[in-house]
Amino acid sequence: MVKGFSESEVKNDESIKFLKNEKKGLFYFLKGKKFTYTLPGKRQINIFGSVVLGLNIGLVLLVILYLNNQEFHDFIFNVGR
């Protein structure tokens, strides 16, 4: 006997079609919408770059302060508990 699908047709296709029509979700909500991606402008690139550089500089300064200042080290150690 061969394993797999039988050669006879499935008679209950209506229930499968009914389930396919009933699907609701984000995909079907957004199906007709058109989304386009636009590249950021120079001003937006400068703002994000400034924020990233500022946060990185702040992180480096806090790490240096953590390693060199014992009171700050103890404060961070105690807050982390």
Mean pLDDT for each consecutive 10-residue tract of the chain (81 residues)?
57 56 66 79 96 98 96 91 76
pLDDT digits (tens, 9 = 90+) for 22-42: 556 777 767 777 777 788 899
Q: Is residue 19 part of a domain?
A: yes
pLDDT at 65: 96
From residue 48, give the alpha-carbon distance in Å to each of 5, 37, 68: 57, 18, 30
Mean pLDDT score across all residues of the chain: 80
* Distance from C-alpha of 80 to C-alpha of 73, rounded to nearest angstrom: 11
Helix (H, G, I), strand (E, B) or coil at 53: helix
Q: Is residue 8 part of a domain?
A: no
Q: Is residue 23 part of a domain?
A: yes
Structural domain containing residue 19: 13-79
* Distance from C-alpha of 77 to C-alpha of 81, rounded to nearest angstrom: 7
pLDDT at 60: 98
Q: Is residue 1 part of a domain?
A: no
**What ranges in the chain are assigned the alpha helix state H?**
13-21, 26-29, 42-68, 70-79
pLDDT at 63: 96
